[in-house]
Each structure stands twice: as C-alpha cells, then as structure tokens.
Structure 1
Amino acid sequence: MKVSIFFRGLVNALSLVLKAKFVWMSVGVLLVVALTMLLSSYFGGRQPTTVALDVGLSTVRLLLPLLIVLLVQELLSREFDKRYYLCSLTYPHARSKLLLGRFVAMLLMLLGLLLALVVLQVFLVGLISSFYPQTTPVAMGGAYVTVIAFMGLDFLVLFALATLLAVVASTPSFVLIGTFGFMLVARSYGAIVELLGRDASLVGNAESYRAGLGVLSYLLPDLGALDVRMLALYGKPEFLPSDWPWLILSSLAYATALLALALWALQRKRLA
C-alpha cells in the first residue's frame, strides 16, 4: 500500500515537472551546448575537438545547476509559498513521501537530460573530428563516462542543497542565491588552496589565508575536485585524483545528509 502511494506521488510529480516547461528548458540547454561547442571548435586552432569538448563541459556545469534551481523553485518553493500543500497534503501520505516523490521525479528528469547531453556531445565530437582532425583525439570511451559520472555527483550535491533550501527558506529567490553561492565556494576553494601552496607570494600572509580556506574542507565537499575533464580531453589516467574513492563517498554522504536534513526540517515545518 505504501509503495503504491509513493509511486502515485512520483507519477504526479513527474507530471508537474513536465508542466513546469522542463521539456522546453531542456531543448534550450541542448541548443546552447551545441552552439557553444560548434562555435568554439571554429576558433580552436590546432585542437578544435578538445576545445569544443572543454567548452561544452563547462557550459553543462553552468546551465544544469540553473535548471536544478528553477525546477526546485517550481515544484517545492512554490508549494510552500503559494500554499499548494493545502491540496497536495490532503492525500493519505506523509510529508516525507511528498518530498521524496518530487525529489526522485526531478532527479530522473535531470538524468534523462544528462544522458541526452552525453549523446549530443558524442555526436558533435565525431562531427567536428571528421571536419577538423587532430593528432591527439579526445577520449570518448571510459574516460568520458568517468567525467560524466563525477559531474553527476556534483549535480546531486547541488540538487540536495537546493531541496533543503526550498524547505527552510522563506522566499524562493533564496534557493537561487544559496545554491549558486554554495556552488561557487565549493568548486573554487580547493583550487585556491592548491594555488597558494605552489606560490605563497600571491597574497599577503598566505599561510593564515590558506589555513582559513582549509577549514572549509571540513564543512563543504570539494566539488572542484569532481571536475576531472582532463581525463577525456587528453586521455591520460594520471589526471584522475588519487583520492577518488574518498571524493565519491564524501559527495554521496554529503548529499544524503542534506536530503535527510530536508526531510527532518519538513517534518517540523509549521504549515499554516
């Protein structure tokens, strides 16, 4: 009985995702990625395929978090802001079922879009390579799959954070500000710490500055380390971080903790 109620909520959430113009937003993302890859390959010099794939991956890493925020605002933030829960919570299921159903529905849609982006990039890389061959081709096999898997972990953490913010925030705009602020810090602090370790003359009192940034490693996941695109761009396994198992486990644990915290906050949220 509980399983059927969950799947009923999941189907309802999938229909809400489709009504939120997800298809049109996905088409827009696919078009932007295709245009950026094709245009960047034209200015890529002697390595047009490498440049195109690099720019394409950067575009995906920028646009999909924005799509995540828009979906969470539409399906969760508006649920509480417009008090749609007065209708949705009249069904005989717990609040956790409502949140999990919509989380899974949005996650499935995003995975489908990510798969479509993978197919698009593989096609465009083959097309660009046929027109502009280069001596060192990009690695579109297992290395590329690894890059996409690590990128998916990045999106999963951001997705769980946006869900938490949608539950606890009083305004939908805070989901956008909080998610992108978190993303910028989590993706950059690791690279800054590494850069200061190589050249301490970049800032004054570099050691204290580096120690302050190092504290973030205990609070935030290192999303910057999940960007392993060099594996696909140059096909060399040494670009994979030596602590990659820890990166995967810590990212999954962080996303799980954020989702659990969102469920806990929803259970104790006072709904007028």
Structure 2
Amino acid sequence: MLFSPSFSIGLRLAFRARFAWLAGGSLLVLALTAFLAAQFSGRQPATVALDIGLSVVRLVLPLVLVLMTQELLSREFDRRYFLNTLSYPHPRHSLLLSRFAAVAILTLALLLVLAAALALLVWLIGRGYAQATPVALGSHYLITIGFIGVDLLLLTAVATLLAVVASTPSFVLIGTFGFMLVARSFGAIVELLTRNTTVVSDAESYRSGVGLLGYVLPDLGALDVRMVTLYGKMELLPTDWPWLLLSSLIYTVGLLALAVWALQRKRFA
C-alpha cells in the first residue's frame, strides 16, 4: 500500500497543496503561542508554555489533516481525478487506504516535528527559571505525544469516511471538527455533572443523556494525558488507559472498513 501509485500520487498532491507551508505555519504558530504564554507566568513559565503548546498541537493538527483529506480524497471525486487514478489495475480500497496512509503519515510526521520543537522551546524557557515542579520531557512527554497520535489517527479515519460519503468538501471540515468537539468534551461534561449536580437543573437525567454518547463515540478527551508530562507523575495516567488506546484503534479500523464499504458502493456520475 505504501508503495502503490495511489500513495505516491497522494504525497505529490499533498505537497502540491502546500503541505510544507501548512507545516511551517503550524510551527510558527506553536512557537509564538508557547513563548508568549510563558511570559504571562512568573512562577511556572515552562509548565504554562508546555500546556498551551500541547493545546495548540491538538487544535492545529486536526485542521491540517482535514485540509489534506479534502485535497487527496474530496477533490479527487469533485474534480473527477478518480477517472485517471482508478485506471490503474488496483481495487478501489487500495486508493482509499493509500490516501489515508499518506494523510496519516504526513500528520504524524508533523506531530513529531512540532513535539520536538515544543520540547526544545520548553527546555530553553525552563533554563531561565528553576521551577519547584519541573516539567518531564522524557518518557512522560513521549507517552503524551503518543496518545495525541492515536487521537489524530482516529480523526483521520473520520475525515476519510466523510470524504467518501459527503457531497461537498466543506462538509469534511464541518463534520470532522464537530465529531472532534463532541468526542473530546462529552466525557468532561459527564464528570462535571457527576461531581457538581448544581450546574444545571435535573442534572441526573442530563448526565444520563450525555453519557449515552459513550456507547457510540470514543472518549477522545481521555486521550489528553498532558498532566503526566506537566507534573512528571505517571500515576496521573487513566487507570483504563490500555482500553482507551485499544478502543480508539478498533474504532479507527471500523471507520476505515465503513469507508471502504461506502466507496465500493459509490456510483460515479
């Protein structure tokens, strides 16, 4: 799959769509945001810079992967490029999985670049002020980035499915970000209503209704384990972290299987 014509074409389309510019812009936004955030913290500049930097990574990279999916898949159908791509002696699912692999590899590679740049910036900031609780940029940081990578892999699968079934490329952006916001927030809402029932009236029924989302959506909010690296304590990992990772990967495979099924039955006008 990684050496198929569809994969190499996908990489060329990604760089033609100015992926390098998106990567450079993401790096600049990350550096400026983290540096400026550190200036507003007198006692824990490294912690604040790392916290804000991770938030930027979790916000910017979904936008990058959606734009790449739009270019590599949505516009493939919109501009009828598939007439040329599907002329190769390869099944349809090869096209889909190759383009998914191209977007996923580019996104994860950019994640590593941003993570390395953020770690370097936080280390430089930390040298100027010795905190009482220093950040952990070793294995704790790698674990945090790994969980973010699983999050992005699942969102790439969501964008891939929407690119196949949606009639307009803009719906890929709206649908993916809508899915992301709901999947990242419903767990925190349920926890808030469990701890404080005075937030809304009839909090129990509201909590039960929101909790039903846990049966159909992955809890992407639980994949945000930044506390591990912010405070250097592995015990801050969720106790069910193996199940979180496994369920997210199973959900990713399921979405890809559904996307393949939809593409196989898609009628091209």
Matched-pair contact (CA < 8 Å) for 2:6–2:85? no
- State how far apart, in whole Å, the 1-side matches of 2:130 and 2:117 are: 19
Q: Deviations over 1:53-89 (max 9, x none)?
A: 0000000000001111100111100111111111111
Deviation at residue 7 of structure 1 after TM alignment: 2.6
Q: Does 1:199 align with 2:196?
A: yes
Give the secondary structure class of the aligned counterpart of 1:183: helix
Task: Give the SS at the match of 1:204.
Answer: coil
Q: Residue 216 of structure 1 aligns with which residue?
A: 213
Specify the alignment match of 1:94 in structure 2.
Answer: 91
Q: What is the match of residue 22 of structure 1? A: 19
Q: How does 1:167-206 map to 2 (within 5 A)?
A: 167-206=164-203
CA deviation string 1:130-165 (max 9, x = no partner): 223312110001111110011111111111000000
State whether structure 2 residue 31 is matched by structure 1 residue 34: yes
Superposition pairs of residues 60-79 of structure 1, within 5 angstroms:
60-79=57-76
CA distance in 2, matches of 1:180, 1:103: 18
* Equivalences for residues 232-243 of structure 1 within 5 A: 232-243=229-240
Partner Cα distance (1:70, 1:132) in 2: 39
| TM-superposition CA deviations, 1:200-220 (whole Å, max 9, x none) | 111111111011011100000
Q: Distance in 2 between matches of 1:8 and 1:77?
A: 18
What residue in structure 2 maps to residue 151 of structure 1? 148
Equivalence map 1:252-271=2 (5 Å): 252-271=249-268
Counterpart of 2:243 in structure 1: which amino acid? W
TM-score by length of 2: 0.97
RMSD: 1.1
Identity %: 62
Separation of aligned partners in 1, 2:216 and 2:7:
32
Work out the CA distance in 2 between the residues paired with 1:45 and 1:74.
43
Tell me by how many angstroms 1:191 deviates: 0.5
Q: 2:4 is paired with a residue of what secondary structure? A: helix
Aligned residue pair count = 269
- With the length of structure 1 as denominator, give the TM-score of the two structures: 0.96
- The Cα shift of 1:108 comes to 1.2
| Alpha-carbon distance in 2 for matches of 1:187, 1:262 | 22
1-side partners of 2:8 and 2:170: how far apart? 27
Alignment of 1:131 with 2:128, yes or no, is yes
Unaligned runs of 5+ in 1: none
C-alpha separation between the residues in 1 aligned to 2:152 and 2:108?
A: 10
**Structure 2, unaligned runs of 5 or more:** none
Q: Which runs of 4+ in 1 moved over 6 A?
A: none
Determine whether 1:7 maps to 2:25: no
**Worse overlay, 113-122 or 161-170:** 113-122
Deviation at 1:9, TM superposition (A): 2.5
CA distance in 2, matches of 1:108, 1:201: 45
SS across alignment from 1:93: coil
Aligned residue in 1 for 2:56: 59
User: 2: CA distance between counterparts of 1:182 and 1:7?
Assistant: 30
Structure 2 CA distance for aligned equivalents of residues 157 and 29 of structure 1 = 20
How far apart are the structure 2 equivalents of 1:267 and 1:7?
Answer: 19
What amino acid is aligned across from residue 207 of structure 2 in structure 1? R
Structure 1 residue 31, shift from structure 2 partner: 0.4
Is contact 2:58–2:148 with CA below 8 Å preserved after alignment? yes
